[in-house]
Amino acid sequence: METKSLWLWNLGSIILEQSSKILPKYYALFHYMTNDECAIDDNKKQLCQQIVSLELFLNYFYSIYIVSLRGALRATNAKEQKANLKYVNAYIIEGYKALWGFTKHNQSLWGQFIKLYANVKNTEAFDKMLEEITCALKEYGDNTITDKDERCLAMHYQIDKNGNPQELLKLDEITIEKEQERYDQFRPIYHKMIDCFVKLIDYYLFKPYRTEILKIQPILPELNLMDQIVWHDKINEINFAITKNIEAQAKSFENCKEMLRKYPLVFKEISRKYKVDLSDCKELLKSTEAMLAISYFSLDLCSILKVYFNSTIPLERNIALSRMNIICHSIIDRVYGYRDRRGSYWEQYITKPYLNMELPDGVVKIRNVMESLIASNTYTQEKRSSFVHLKKDNYIQAITYLYSNNPLVEIQNSEAIIKILPEIQKAIVGVVKQVDSNIKCSYARKNSWIDENLKKVAPFKNQPGVKSVYESLLLLKKGKIMEAIEKLNDI
C-alpha cells in the first residue's frame, strides 16, 4: 500500500477497535435511560438520552464507513475496489442526512440536540465547540461533495424505480482519489464531534451519575471470531475462488459495457444507410443490459465476501455480514421479486422464451434457489431499511441486528446466490439466442430492400471497403444480423 493508504488502513483498524468497545457500552446505557429504573433527573434525562444516542450513531455510522474504505484499500481488482468505494459516498450521504438533514435541519439529530441543549444547559463551556461543529456540518453540505445518484445505485442498483441497468455504468467512474477526498472532508467533523461528546458525556452523565452507570451490564451479545474457525482451513481456497469469480465477472461487465457502447451506433448507422427498421434489435440490447447487471451483482457480493473472510476484527466482519444482507436482498428483489414476479428479470428475460411451455431444468433450478432464499426469512424489508437508512431510531435497530447476525446462514445464502448468478446469465444468453432467431426469421421474410442495395453495390463489390458492405448485405439477407454487424465493424 502507498503511505497514505497504509495510514488510512491503520487508522481504520484503531477506529473499529474503539467502536467495538464503545457500541455495547453506550447501547446498554441508552436502554437504561429509557426504562423506569433510570436514576437520572427528569429534567436532564432527555438531554442525556440525545447525547448518548448521538455517540452511538457516530460510532456505528463511522464504522460502516471505515469498513467500506478499508475494503477498497485492500482490493486486488479495480472493479472490486469500486464496488467497495461506492459505499463510502452512500454512507456519507446517509450519515450526513441523519446528522444535518440537508434542508430539514430542525428535524435532524444535530438540530434536535442543539435545540434541546440550548433550553436545559447549565454551562456555557461547550458552546464554542458546538458552534464550530454546526458551522462545519453546514459548510460540508454547501460543498456538495456527495453524489445522490451514486448512493441510489449503491443501495438499490438503480437511480429511479424501474431504472435502466445501464445506470450502473456510472459506478464505473468512481475513483479512490475522489472517495479519499470525501473522507478527508468529513474526518475532521467526525473527530470534533467525538471529542465534544466525550466531554459532554463526562460532564452530564459520568460525573453526577457514576455510581449508577457503573452498575449497568452489557445487553448485546459479545462479538467473537468463532465463525472464523469454521472457515480457517479454507481461507486461501475461498479467497482464490472469490478472486477468480471477480476477475471473470469484471471481464463480463467490460464486454457488456463495450457492446452497449458500440451496438446502438452500429444499429443507427445500418438504419440510416439502408433505410431499414432495426427496432427488433433493441431486445438484444435489453438482454445485454441484464447481463451487465448480473455481472455487477456478482462483483458486489464477492467484494464484500472478501472483506468478511480477510478481516480479523469481529465488528468489521459483522458489518460485512450486514452488507451481504443488503446486497442479497436487492439481488433477489431485482432478479425474482418477493411477492410477485412483475418487472423482475425472471419475467423480463429468464422465462420469456418459455411462455406456456415447461421450464428447462436450469431455469427450474434458479426458481428453486430463489424460493429457498425467500423462505429462509433472512431478508426482510425492516432489516434492510435499518441497515440502509441511518435515520432516527433506525440505527438503534440496525445495531441490534448487527449483533444478532447469523454468519453461517448469511455465508451459505451468499454462496448460493454467487453460484446461481452464472446460471441466470446462461438463461439470459438463451433469451438472446431466441430473440436473434426471431429477428432472423423476420428479416428473411422482408428483405426486398436488401436485394435493391445488393444490386447497387454488386458492380463495386471487390473495391476496398465495398466488399465488407456487400458481404454484410448477404448476411442480412439470410437474417444473420449480429454477423452482419461484426462484418461492418471490420471496415
The cell numbers describing 62, all together, are: 463511522
- Mean pLDDT of the region 323-336: 95
Out of 66-75, 164-173, 427-436, least confident range? 427-436
- pLDDT at residue 253 above 90? yes
More confident residue, 121 or 456: 121
According to DSSP, residue 437 is labeled H
**DSSP assignment string, 109-150:** HHHHHHHHHHHH---STTHHHHHHHHHHHHHHHHTT---HHH
For cell 430539514, the residue is 104
- pLDDT at residue 303 above 90? yes
More confident residue, 434 or 234: 234
CA distance 462 to 467: 5
Q: What is the mean pLDDT of the chain?
A: 86
Cα dihedral across residues 115, 121, 124, 125: positive or negative: negative
If pLDDT is split at 50, 70 and 90, which confidence band does 288 have? confident
CA distance 26 to 23: 5
Q: Are 379 and 332 in contact (CB under 8 A)?
A: yes
The cell numbers describing 413, all together, are: 445464502
More confident residue, 382 or 476: 382
If pLDDT is split at 50, 70 and 90, which confidence band does 480 have? confident
- pLDDT at residue 202 above 90? yes
Give the pLDDT score at 356: 80
Give the pLDDT score at 267: 72
CA distance to 25, 149, 205, per residue, from 50 (Å): 15, 31, 12
Percent of the chain with pLDDT over 70: 91
- Mean pLDDT of the region 25-45: 88
- pLDDT at residue 329 above 90? yes
Q: Determine the length of the chain.
A: 491
125 phi and psi angles, rounded to 5 deg: -65, -25
Closest CA to 306 of 238, 250, 253: 238
- Mean pLDDT of the region 338-346: 91
Put simply, whether the predicted model's pTM sits higher than 0.75 gets the answer yes
Cα pseudo-dihedral 460, 461, 464, 469, rounded to 10:
120
Angle at 245 between CA 62 and CA 91, to 5 degrees: 15
- Mean pLDDT of the region 1-16: 76
